[in-house]
Structure 1
Amino acid sequence: MASLTWLRQCALGLGVLTLPWAIAPELLAQSTPNPPSTASDLIPFNPNPDPLYLPTQPEQVEIDLDQPITLNQALELARRNNRSLQVTEQQLQQSRATLRQSQAALYPSISFQSSLGRSDSAAARLQNAQIQQNRRNQASMAGGAMQPTTLNFSSVSNTWNSNVQVGYNVFTSGQRPGSIRAAQEQVRNAELDLQRQWEQLRQDVTDDYYNIQQADALVRIGQAAVENSQISLRDAVARERAGLGTLFDVLTSEVQLANNQQQLVQSESQLQIARRQLAQTLSLNDRANLSAADPIQVVGDWTLSLNDSIALAFRNRVELEQQLTQRNVALQQRRVALGNLGPQLSVGGTFNTTDELTDSLAPQWGYSVSGQMNLTIFDGGVSRASAAQQEASAAIAETQFASFKNLIRFQVEQSYFTLKSSQENISTNQAAVNAATEGLRLARLRFQAGVGTQQEVSNAETSLIQAQSNLLSAVIDYNRAISALQRFVSGLPLNPEPASTAPTIGE
């Protein structure tokens, strides 16, 4: 009689059992606080402005800021703080400075020198002493006294000299325009590399964000699985005590609970790793951590066909244009190398003044003009060998252009096929989740009614967990494929408008 009462209570309690996904979609909802609403709210996540700052105390790296953010906010933090992007921006500034250095050859060089000096000549002193000695000798021979006289030569000299020199390379056999054009192509390549780095960073941040979403959902699935296993174990223990079950059913439930607890621990570990991976990509403050605030849902539709996607990728991918700029740089450097064998014509002029400050004469000036031509008759083949190296560099760039074109097509095709398969898997796995949820409900009913086994319940729980994980993977894979297509095609908005029928996980 007691066992019948217990069965009746279990049957009545089925209506309040928490089953994941189909019955309780809130298991995958975000339970964290609201994300920052303005750009200023993201300031606490910024790293120390001193790039050489190195925390060495445990309290300096203790996380005290843990907040959810949206994907768009993560991208804003990446654009602002990512170290690799900052290095690329600095390399662009470096290339622009190199261009300004090359363009300086378009202008003449002007130099000015000025000197002011004072000297006391020992030779002049010696000459004056000799003159004095001669006069004393002459006076002695004449038998008279030497008449006082002034020195004939001054040993002290105060002079001021100045010199202005102007030089200009009139003709360089193509070296000057070649160097400037090569520097311009390097600047263009740096600009393209900055764009490439940003597009790759967008994809990396998006993938890291989806990893957090997936790991977070797996934790919730694991928690629900543990709760279900605890219910099954409780039911098995109660049936065994009532004499309606066996010890084998209890042991089976305990094993199932242990396995689910282990999976939960692993999922929690993966979640922490995913969160720290995003923090590393965003170069966050040492005391900050992030979680995902966006719900897990299909982000939108890819409206382009495969052929349209490939053609658009060929037009937009900066990697292809980068190879063209590398080719142009090599050709211009070849021109510079061959310029060593051509004539070099330069002109120059000098204007100078000098003044003896101890006399009453005005400063004197002078000038000179000159022209010079240099022609290398033979350099042992150095210039032609350097030109051949640049020809090979240009050929390498052309080959890499063709290689990148093939790679781009494969990347687009791979992402497109993944997108289509994930799209089909979403519908299939959603139906599987519904069926597995109903199967678990029926397995529990059969077990509680005494016509089923605990193994059936365990199998049904495993099937439900697997179906939920498959659906989660299908949605995440679909979103990753969208992100990959946006990266590999380039030039499209990161977040397309959501499809009107896009399902949210748990619907």
Structure 2
Amino acid sequence: MNFSLFFVHFTWVPVAFAILLPTLVSAATPPKAQNSSSAVQVPDRLNPNPNPLQFPTKPEEVRIQGTVPISLAQALELAKRNNRDLQVAILQLQRSRSELRESQAALFPTLGIDSRVTNSGNGFNNNSSQARTSFNGSAELNYNLYTSGNTLARIRAAEEQLRVDELNVESQSLVINLDATTQYYDLQQADQQVRINQSAVQNAQASLRDTQARERAGVGTRFDVLQAQVNLANAQQQLTNAISQQQIARRQLATLLSLSQSADISASDPVQLAGLWPQTVEQSIVQAFQNRPELQQFLGQRNISEQQRRQALSQLGPQVSLTGNYNLLDEYNDGASITDGYSAELQGNLTVFDGGAARARAAQSRANIGIAEARFANQRDLIRFDVERYYAQLQSNLNNVQTSSVALNQAREALNLARLRFQAGVGTQTEVIDAENDLTRAEGNRVTAILDYNRALANLQRSVTSRASR
């Protein structure tokens, strides 16, 4: 179940940002591509072994054979296809369908047939009479004419449970889509941190070469060289840590997607804004209340408890059933014809006193109704908070994208000026190092702002859950 992104401008976006926005927003929105799963092609070697009980026993079976770049649309398709939690939810739904069919069977009569062929005699040492062979058969029909509403309540409870499990599949799909989307953005951020730190190492190496050249020319100092060497060592350490985080992010996403044991992935989509949100916060809240499957699940649980209350009270009402029986008896070689007979019985019973057990079960169901109503109200408040929180994050992160983009350009210009001043002898190595660090932070801040915006957008879409786009 997928949800689309919307592409209209916020009314509060600064005019200056309208010029910058086209370079940041993707021309093709990934979530739109996921609406048609057939259009998303996924490499077969990423799919896991179809046997869920299989596990590797040799090191070569878990050795990574290569890294496959995938897009966000492919990640969502893999999550929908392979995720174990979603598969469990679908199996639970199938089980509920079978339980509903079981409860509906009570609307029909039951028919049983019993037959026996018997051979009897006086024993091996007594031949005073011959052995006798007989056939005895019977058929019995049972039908519950009236159960004081018990049968209907069971069926309605099973129908509500089926609806709850359908909503659970929908909710689980949305959660998995959100998890796959946010973890894909985490992987993008890890990839970008590696790239940024690689660039920082290259800048530090260039500064070290310049400083060593100035020292050899007699216009630099040993102190400047040591500063450059320390800066390079720090940059290399940050790069090592970034590579480690990249590997963790890859394996985390691979675990969520339930990929093959020997496959690894990387993010192929560029880092850019995923889209814009067209609604006001008030419109988003109302739409979330209408669409969130969790609210409907709590209503379904309330209805199940109500039907269980009726089932409990039905045990105190009259129960009427009809039983019909037909018997057939034939003894072979007795010279008599087959004998048969039938009987019909209408039976009624009423429980006069059960020690209060039925009413106690009804009271438990009434308490469960109250619990479901309280959880519904609590979930409603949480949904509103989620919408307001992610909407606020969306606005702030969009402003941060504008600010960080401007700061990145300024940091690049400042580094160029610091190097020119240092080469001209009017600047210091400390200024160059500070400018390099500022550039690294500016690049990281811009990537973080864009991906934080994308995460907030994905969370807001999950909070609102537009059924029209799924």
TM-score by length of structure 1 reads 0.83
1:164 alignment partner, SS class: strand
Counterpart CA distance in 2 for 1:282 and 1:185 is 31
Counterpart CA distance in 2 for 1:448 and 1:387 is 87
Counterpart CA distance in 2 for 1:211 and 1:122 is 85
Residue 80 of structure 2 corresponds to residue 105 of structure 1: no
Counterpart CA distance in 1 for 2:76 and 2:195 is 26
- Relative distance call for 1:292 and 1:492 in structure 2 (3 A) is farther
1:455, distance to aligned residue in structure 2 (A): 0.6
Counterpart CA distance in 2 for 1:316 and 1:44 is 37
- Relative distance call for 1:423 and 1:41 in structure 2 (3 A) is closer
Q: Which residue in the other structure is 1:213 paired with?
A: 188
Counterpart CA distance in 2 for 1:468 and 1:75 is 28
1:376 alignment partner, SS class: coil
Counterpart CA distance in 1 for 2:468 and 2:155 is 36
1:313, distance to aligned residue in structure 2 (A): 0.4
Q: Which residue in the other structure is 1:367 paired with?
A: 342
What is the correspondence of 1:428-467 to structure 2 with a 5 Å cutoff?
Answer: 428-467=403-442
Given residue 449 of structure 1, which amino acid in structure 2 is its aligned partner? A
Contact 1:486–1:492 (8 Å) recurs in 2: no
What is the correspondence of 1:297-376 to structure 2 with a 5 Å cutoff?
Answer: 297-376=272-351
Q: Which residue in the other structure is 1:96 paired with?
A: 97
- Relative distance call for 1:176 and 1:228 in structure 2 (3 A) is same
**Identity level (%):** 50
2:43 alignment partner, SS class: helix
Contact 1:166–1:350 (8 Å) recurs in 2: yes
1:65, distance to aligned residue in structure 2 (A): 3.6
Contact 1:185–1:325 (8 Å) recurs in 2: yes
1:407 alignment partner, SS class: helix
Q: Which residue in the other structure is 1:16 paired with?
A: none
Counterpart CA distance in 1 for 2:468 and 2:46 is 25
Superposition RMSD on alpha carbons, in Å? 1.8
Q: Which residue in the other structure is 1:164 paired with?
A: 139
What is the correspondence of 1:121-136 to structure 2 with a 5 Å cutoff?
Answer: 121=122, 128=128
1:361, distance to aligned residue in structure 2 (A): 2.0
Counterpart CA distance in 2 for 1:339 and 1:356 is 47
Q: Which residue in the other structure is 1:184 paired with?
A: 159
Q: Which residue in the other structure is 1:291 paired with?
A: 266
Contact 2:42–2:74 (8 Å) recurs in 1: no
1:53 alignment partner, SS class: coil
Contact 1:70–1:294 (8 Å) recurs in 2: yes
Counterpart CA distance in 2 for 1:224 and 1:482 is 29
1:124, distance to aligned residue in structure 2 (A): 12
Counterpart CA distance in 2 for 1:421 and 1:79 is 31
1:360, distance to aligned residue in structure 2 (A): 2.5
Given residue 81 of structure 1, which amino acid in structure 2 is its aligned partner? N
Residue 467 of structure 2 corresponds to residue 486 of structure 1: no
Counterpart CA distance in 2 for 1:332 and 1:83 is 32
Q: Which residue in the other structure is 2:354 paired with?
A: 379
Contact 2:227–2:430 (8 Å) recurs in 1: yes
- Relative distance call for 1:313 and 1:40 in structure 2 (3 A) is closer
1:117, distance to aligned residue in structure 2 (A): 1.1
Counterpart CA distance in 1 for 2:250 and 2:137 is 68
1:162 alignment partner, SS class: strand
What is the correspondence of 1:215-230 to structure 2 with a 5 Å cutoff?
Answer: 215-230=190-205
Where structure 2 has 5 or more consecutive residues not aligned to the other structure, the ranges are 1-22, 24-37
1:483 alignment partner, SS class: helix
1:125, distance to aligned residue in structure 2 (A): 5.3
Counterpart CA distance in 2 for 1:71 and 1:41 is 11
Counterpart CA distance in 1 for 2:299 and 2:264 is 42
Counterpart CA distance in 2 for 1:259 and 1:186 is 58
1:200, distance to aligned residue in structure 2 (A): 0.6
Contact 1:42–1:77 (8 Å) recurs in 2: no
Q: Which residue in the other structure is 1:272 paired with?
A: 247
1:245, distance to aligned residue in structure 2 (A): 1.3
1:231, distance to aligned residue in structure 2 (A): 0.6
1:255, distance to aligned residue in structure 2 (A): 1.0
Counterpart CA distance in 2 for 1:420 and 1:308 is 16
1:452 alignment partner, SS class: coil
2:294 alignment partner, SS class: helix
Contact 2:291–2:467 (8 Å) recurs in 1: no
1:492, distance to aligned residue in structure 2 (A): 6.0
Deviations 1:486-506 (A, max 9, x none): 1110026889xxxxxxxxxxx
1:51 alignment partner, SS class: coil
Counterpart CA distance in 2 for 1:306 and 1:259 is 44
1:40, distance to aligned residue in structure 2 (A): 5.5
1:367 alignment partner, SS class: strand
Q: Which residue in the other structure is 1:505 paired with?
A: none
What is the correspondence of 1:63-78 to structure 2 with a 5 Å cutoff?
Answer: 63-78=64-79
Q: Which residue in the other structure is 1:504 paired with?
A: none
- Relative distance call for 1:287 and 1:460 in structure 2 (3 A) is same
Deviations 1:230-281 (A, max 9, x none): 0111111111222211111111111111111111111111111111111111
Given residue 143 of structure 2, which amino acid in structure 1 is its aligned partner? Y
TM-score by length of structure 2 reads 0.90
What is the correspondence of 1:399-410 to structure 2 with a 5 Å cutoff?
Answer: 399-410=374-385
Counterpart CA distance in 2 for 1:228 and 1:290 is 29
1:184 alignment partner, SS class: helix
Q: Which residue in the other structure is 2:32 paired with?
A: none
Counterpart CA distance in 2 for 1:173 and 1:124 is 60
Name the stretch that deviates more: 88-97 or 357-366: 357-366
Contact 1:436–1:467 (8 Å) recurs in 2: yes
- Relative distance call for 1:368 and 1:393 in structure 2 (3 A) is same
Counterpart CA distance in 2 for 1:462 and 1:441 is 13
Aligned with residue 215 of structure 2, among 227, 236, 240: 240
Given residue 90 of structure 1, which amino acid in structure 2 is its aligned partner? L
Name the stretch that deviates more: 58-67 or 207-216: 58-67
Counterpart CA distance in 2 for 1:270 and 1:195 is 32
Counterpart CA distance in 2 for 1:124 and 1:280 is 76
